[in-house]
């Protein structure tokens, strides 16, 4: 998915705090009632933002307070994310810190360098690899982990972080010191880049340390692979083949930076999506049963529909951040059009867009027959998730062997509840008949 601000609810809380300080009696009537309402919903805003989004979509679709615009309607969110020259990504500076000086295409605007680097990585990460390499690897790895668990499994610690870490080692050709270390490096770097909105010094320090270790590991891997005879058919091997024929932008440093940027987002976001989608299914016994029936029948396409509809209720990215590079009239011609001034922060609430009742049929219902364009799990526009096609098969692929087990249920007590460490799930215990 786009490796973007997965903890945008922190930003939403900040927006609500600002709104509270300004007073929003105009939105809700009497000022006292508005403040009481805000005090209640603010406590649940981070975990359960949709009730707030629903109100804003009807009353103030583009809420602008103290140079921050919260955009909640489907077409307005799409407009923000498709105007990439106007509404620009925010994480280029931090990305350069992580890479040690150079940029990674995720932090770039549309430019010759962006087009070159994305084209290179599409050349080495091929769509045809999905069926031949990725799907079988994920299915076997996830299946083996589920089988070895003995009927009790922590989905986060024993499945959803392990499979993508091992997939990275196999498909990218970059074997880490351990699954746990790679997952830890990716998580802290991702948090620094996309969810640390207050620039916490502790997070920054941990991310710099993790980034230095990640760079050293990838550099050593590249050096070792170049010294080996022959080329393996993996992502790194394909990059080195391009380097050998003199393709520009395929020097060792560029290869390392592109691999680093992709690897950082490959594990924490995948794990988060798996845990949150399964948690939503566990809340809905009827839908869980149908998803399990599909898994037991080997119907991967149907399993995917259940997983991604479940994820809509608690997505990886509730919203994406952008900065306005110029004055722009958003939703021009509508009664809620709003001038977004240059330098303003724009919060494009993709979760709200996926619940926009004007576009989405029965948005509060669990429906697996929704058209694909309703889902914004991968973002939209220029910075649509680079790994979206991998994630479309990997996330349900990780969960399918678990869903196929009979009597899948939460573990007793707190162990069976989805727990978080910062913005990422840390545990979710389940049991099944082994």
**Tens digit of each residue's pLDDT (9 = 90 or more) over 376-418:** 999 888 788 888 899 999 999 999 999 999 999 999 999 999 9
Distance between CA atoms of residues 336 and 76, nearest Å? 10
Tokens 């429906």, residue?
A: 367
Contact 281, 287 (CB under 8 A): yes
Q: Has residue 41 got a pLDDT over 50?
A: no
More confident residue, 153 or 96: 153
* Among the listed residues 426, 421, 5, 419, the one whose alpha carbon sits nearest the alpha carbon of residue 190: 5
Categorise residue 425: left if φ over 0, alpha if ψ from -120 to 50, beta otherwise.
Answer: beta
pLDDT band of 105, cuts 50, 70, 90: confident
Residue 317 backbone dihedrals phi, psi, to 5 degrees = -115, 95
Distance between CA atoms of residues 238 and 228, nearest Å? 14
Task: At 331, list the tokens.
Answer: 């939703």
Contacting residues for 352 by C-beta, under 8 A, at least 6 apart: 49, 50, 53, 54, 56, 57, 72, 73, 77, 319
pLDDT of amino acid 194: 81
Task: At 20, list the tokens.
Answer: 């509270």
Highest mean pLDDT among 86-95, 110-119, 251-260, 355-364: 355-364
- The model's pTM is 0.86
Domains in the chain, ordered, with CATH?
8-431 (1.10.630.10)
How high does pLDDT run on average in the chain?
88
Distance between CA atoms of residues 260 and 104, nearest Å? 9
More confident residue, 104 or 397: 397
What average pLDDT does this structure show over 171-179? 91
> Tens of pLDDT along 334-350?
999 999 999 999 999 99
pLDDT of amino acid 42: 52
Distance between CA atoms of residues 195 and 319, nearest Å? 11
> Tens of pLDDT along 65-98?
989 999 999 999 999 999 999 999 887 788 888 8
Distance between CA atoms of residues 126 and 235, nearest Å? 9
Contact 26, 402 (CB under 8 A): no
More confident residue, 332 or 38: 332
* Among the listed residues 347, 402, 361, 375, the one whose alpha carbon sits nearest the alpha carbon of residue 66: 347
What average pLDDT does this structure show over 205-209? 94
CB-side neighbour CA atoms (13 Å) of 198: 9
Name residue 421's beta-bridge partners. 424
Tokens 């008949």, residue?
A: 433
* Among the listed residues 29, 112, 16, the one whose alpha carbon sits nearest the alpha carbon of residue 65: 16
Q: Has residue 299 got a pLDDT over 90?
A: yes
Name residue 9's beta-bridge partners. none
Helix residue ranges, H only, 132-267: 135-148, 155, 162-167, 179-190, 201-227, 235-244, 252-266
Q: What is the 3-state secondary structure (H, E, C) of 236-287?
A: HHHHHHHHHCCCCCCCHHHHHHHHHHHHHHHCHHHHHHHHHHHHHHHCCHHH
Exposed e or buried b per residue across 140-166, where buried means at least 16 C-beta atoms within 10 angstroms of its C-beta: ebbbebbeebeeebbbbbbbbbbbbbb
3-state secondary structure of 229: coil
Distance between CA atoms of residues 278 and 311, nearest Å? 8
Under DSSP, the state recorded for 334 is: S
């Amino acid at each position: 998915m786009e490796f973007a601000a997965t903890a945008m609810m922190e930003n939403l809380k900040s927006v609500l705090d600002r709104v509270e300080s300004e007073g929003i009696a105009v939105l809700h009537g009497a000022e006292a009632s508005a403040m009481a309402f805000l005090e209640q919903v603010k406590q649940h805003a981070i975990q359960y933002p949709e009730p707030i989004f629903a109100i804003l979509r009807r009353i103030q679709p583009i809420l602008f307070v103290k140079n921050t615009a919260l955009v909640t309607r489907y077409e307005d969110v799409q407009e923000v994310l498709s105007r990439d020259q106007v509404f620009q990504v925010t994480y280029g500076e931090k990305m350069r810190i992580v890479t040690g000086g150079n940029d990674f295409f995720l932090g770039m605007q549309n430019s010759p360098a962006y087009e070159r680097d994305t084209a290179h990585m599409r050349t080495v990460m091929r769509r045809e690899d999905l069926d031949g390499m990725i799907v079988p690897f994920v299915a076997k790895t996830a299946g083996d982990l589920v089988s070895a668990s003995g009927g009790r499994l922590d989905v986060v610690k024993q499945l959803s972080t392990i499979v993508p870490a091992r997939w990275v080692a196999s498909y990218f050709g970059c074997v880490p010191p351990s699954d746990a270390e790679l997952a830890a490096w990716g998580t802290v770097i991702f948090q620094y880049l996309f969810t640390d909105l207050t620039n916490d010094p502790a997070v920054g320090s941990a991310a710099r340390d993790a980034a230095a270790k990640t760079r050293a590991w990838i550099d050593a891997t590249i050096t070792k692979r170049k010294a080996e005879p022959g080329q393996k058919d993996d992502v790194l091997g394909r990059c080195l083949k391009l380097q050998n024929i003199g393709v520009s932008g395929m020097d060792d440093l560029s290869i390392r930076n592109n691999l680093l940027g992709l690897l950082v987002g490959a594990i924490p976001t995948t794990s988060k999506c798996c845990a949150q989608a399964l948690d939503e299914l566990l809340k809905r016994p009827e839908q869980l049963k149908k998803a399990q029936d599909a898994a037991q029948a080997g119907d991967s396409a149907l399993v995917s529909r259940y997983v991604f509809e479940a994820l809509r209720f608690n997505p990886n990215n509730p919203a994406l951040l952008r900065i306005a590079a110029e004055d722009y009239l958003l939703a021009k011609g509508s009664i809620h059009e709003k001038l977004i001034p240059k330098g303003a922060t724009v919060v494009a609430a993709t979760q709200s867009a996926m619940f926009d009742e004007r576009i989405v049929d029965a948005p509060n219902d669990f429906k697996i027959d929704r058209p694909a364009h309703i889902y914004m799990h991968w973002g939209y526009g220029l910075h649509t998730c680079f790994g979206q096609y991998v994630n479309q098969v990997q996330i349900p692929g990780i969960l399918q062997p678990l869903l196929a087990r009979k009597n899948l249920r939460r573990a007793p007590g707190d162990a069976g509840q989805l727990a978080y460490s910062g913005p990422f799930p840390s545990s979710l215990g389940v049991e099944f008949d082994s």
